[in-house]
Structure 1
Amino acid sequence: MIEQRKPSQRPASGGEFAAELHVTERETVADGVVALTLADPGGRGLPAWSPGAHIDLSPRPDVVRQYSLCGDPADRTGWRIAVLREPEGRGGSRLVHDDLVPGSRVQVRGPRNNFALAEAPRYLFIAGGIGVTPILPMVAAAEAAGASWRLVYGGRRRASMAFRTELARHGDKVVIWPQDEAGLLPLDDELGEPRADTLVYCCGPEPLLAEVERRCGAWPTGALHVERFAARPVGEPVRAGGFEVVCKRSGLTLDVAPDRSILHTAEDAGITVLSSCQEGTCGTCETEVIEGTPDHRDSVLSESEREAGDVMMICVSRSRTPRLVLDL
């Protein structure tokens, strides 16, 4: 069985790559989408990464956002990201669009990969809008490996769909599907018949991911891999009240109140924890569970990982049991 996601190998606190990089290139790649290339000001090589990886970008000290790397993993001189301007968003994309130009300096941390490309003879890639960014290097990797693959790429309008020209070189392996011309993506045609030799990789807005997940319910376990840019809807926690967390490495026992996260409770107690999105989508705060049963409320872990219960995202997940023992 192919697992949906391999747990990230988290470095010790403070050991993750973090640096101030500068913008070397800026290009408008679609209506409302800019691509930036980031490099080390001193010309030093950047850490290696693999398709599906993302970085944390801080256009301002109090703002951290996650963006997928969409360049060439073999190029260690620069990292490319693409950012959609979201007028109704929290402001991070507006800062990128308005403030970052060639020569600008910006804080970066990572890379981190919760959406790694597993080996397979055949792939179906499904992208919606800016969700094409992590798919770009996957397509290149599949092509280089000699695998059979197909990309179905949907967007509201053709002009809003980034990297169409770059993808055109792949010919009919790529299907461009603007909604205003052709309607919604033909998911029944693409996913109606489960295929044992095919892995499905999908990234895009929540409605697309939900529909793909529903249609892949009959596919082999582990065939579907998804990445979310925003947290998926979750219900109420299993436990309405608080619970106890034993931090094994720190030797502290903490009471987590109903209105506080494990992450914030640990930070209040002076425990340093790497974190970023604080909404369960980036995987930065992944923590080993030694005892107890987590109430998983993240958008990162696969179903098999949730059932195993040996890691959790402490920014949003809670406890099903009165007590958790964590590697904190």
Structure 2
Amino acid sequence: MTEQSAVETEVVVQERTDLAEGVVGLTLAAADGGALPSWRPGAHVDLLLREGLERQYSLCGDPADDRTWRLGVLKEGPGSTFVHERLRVGDRLVARGPRNHFALEKAPGYLFLAGGIGITPILPMIAAVDAAGADWRLLYGGRRRTAMAFLDDLARYGERVEVRPQDECGLPDLDAALSGTGEGTLVYCCGPEPMLAAVEERCVPGALRTERFSPKPVTGPSEAFEVELALSGRTVKVEAGRSILETVEEAGVTVLSSCREGTCGTCETPVLDGEPDHRDSVLTEDERADGGFMMICVSRARGPRLVLEL
């Protein structure tokens, strides 16, 4: 089971900075001046920016700091455009979470691969493993150096960090990076879909942990099936081309959701019976094989019926 939280906190923008070309940094504090919900490296929060506009952003500060959250936001799409153009110091908004589907696990060594704004969830991971004295390396790629955030933060780690701006060095050499990993090394990767797909093709099975900002391509049949809602005492039919989430909402069942594309994990639902057809970008292969939870915004059934804890 992945870690998640439905806690909503009113936060205020305490500080806003320009981190790189197209990237702003936000420091958020609890609007009531109290402590913020705790989190661990790899976590993200949902920001409810305005009615109908909700986006997820990775926490990239210090988990030990319970007074502020630090975010890095790339201007890309309507949510981040709102952050860049409308959100100012003193503004208040609601944050949901944190939740974590990219948790840092114990390992004898780590290889971190970051592309562009994908560096944000990696930063607190690096701080944690470095403080613990673990063996680690970071390969950080971007289009150009001026658009790569947090370079000053990373400079203190010296040769453990390899910065590869594409306009200077070309694409990062993933084969070379992965060939240098020792047995038991975990690979944490966050960045654009082409980078994630390339790493998945090359990585040793079981070693890779990924975080996606956009859903990976999904293929598969879309036949109708039934879903029994164990807590509601109802059974609904999910038609071809319709999601479980849409169907149960139309039946009057409230489900917490956000991205509706299988990337955030908000709609994670326990499976009591039946076999899910996992189509999300969140669960690990082990979690998929276990079949105990599914993301009902995109995933379907491998048989005629599912029983969900709804």
Offset at 1:308?
Answer: 2.1
Match of 1:223 among 182, 188, 207: 207
Alignment partner, residue 84 of structure 2: 97
Matches within 5 A, 1:194-209: 195-209=182-196
- Stretches of structure 2 that go unaligned for 5 or more consecutive residues are none
Q: Secondary structure at the match of 2:66?
A: coil
Offset at 1:299?
Answer: 0.6
Within 1, Cα distance between the matches of 2:157 and 2:151? 10
Alignment partner, residue 268 of structure 1: 250
Say whether 1:61 aligns with 2:43. Answer: no
Instruction: List per-residue Cα deviations over 1:177-220 (Å, max 9, x = no partner).
Output: 0000000001111113552131110000000001111110xx2x
Alignment RMSD:
1.2
Offset at 1:259?
Answer: 2.4
Contact persistence 2:37–2:66 (CA under 8 A): yes
Within 1, Cα distance between the matches of 2:245 and 2:302? 17
Within 2, Cα distance between the matches of 1:148 and 1:100? 39
Amino acid at match of 1:265: T
Within 1, Cα distance between the matches of 2:183 and 2:231? 43
Contact persistence 1:192–1:215 (CA under 8 A): no
Within 2, Cα distance between the matches of 1:163 and 1:174? 12
- Stretches of structure 1 that go unaligned for 5 or more consecutive residues are 1-6
Change (3 A) 1:164 1:194: closer
Matches within 5 A, 1:180-259: 180-192=167-179, 195-216=182-203, 219=204, 221-237=205-221, 240-259=222-241
Contact persistence 1:57–1:67 (CA under 8 A): yes
Within 1, Cα distance between the matches of 2:3 and 2:63? 19
Alignment partner, residue 136 of structure 2: 149
Q: Secondary structure at the match of 1:133?
A: helix
Q: Secondary structure at the match of 2:113?
A: strand
Within 1, Cα distance between the matches of 2:4 and 2:63? 20
TM-score for the superposition, normalised by structure 2 = 0.97
Q: Secondary structure at the match of 2:34?
A: coil
Amino acid at match of 2:50: R
Contact persistence 1:254–1:266 (CA under 8 A): yes
Q: Secondary structure at the match of 1:37?
A: strand
Within 1, Cα distance between the matches of 2:286 and 2:177? 25
Amino acid at match of 1:190: A
Matches within 5 A, 1:1-328: 7-10=1-4, 16-86=6-76, 89=77, 91-192=78-179, 195-216=182-203, 219=204, 221-237=205-221, 240-328=222-310
Contact persistence 1:289–1:312 (CA under 8 A): yes
Within 1, Cα distance between the matches of 2:166 and 2:67? 37
Offset at 1:311?
Answer: 1.2
Offset at 1:304?
Answer: 2.2
Contact persistence 2:110–2:186 (CA under 8 A): yes
Alignment partner, residue 3 of structure 1: none
Contact persistence 2:4–2:97 (CA under 8 A): no
Within 1, Cα distance between the matches of 2:158 and 2:82? 35
Within 1, Cα distance between the matches of 2:181 and 2:168? 28
Within 2, Cα distance between the matches of 1:156 and 1:199? 26
Alignment partner, residue 4 of structure 1: none
How many pairs does the alignment contain? 310
Instruction: List per-residue Cα deviations over 1:220-276 (Å, max 9, x = no partner).
Output: x42111111100001132xx4311100001111111111221111111112111111
Instruction: List per-residue Cα deviations over 1:12-40 (Å, max 9, x = no partner).
Output: xxxx2102211000010000000001111
Within 1, Cα distance between the matches of 2:181 and 2:132? 23
Change (3 A) 1:194 1:72: closer
Within 2, Cα distance between the matches of 1:192 and 1:8? 30
Identical amino acids, percent of aligned pairs = 60
Within 2, Cα distance between the matches of 1:246 and 1:10? 24
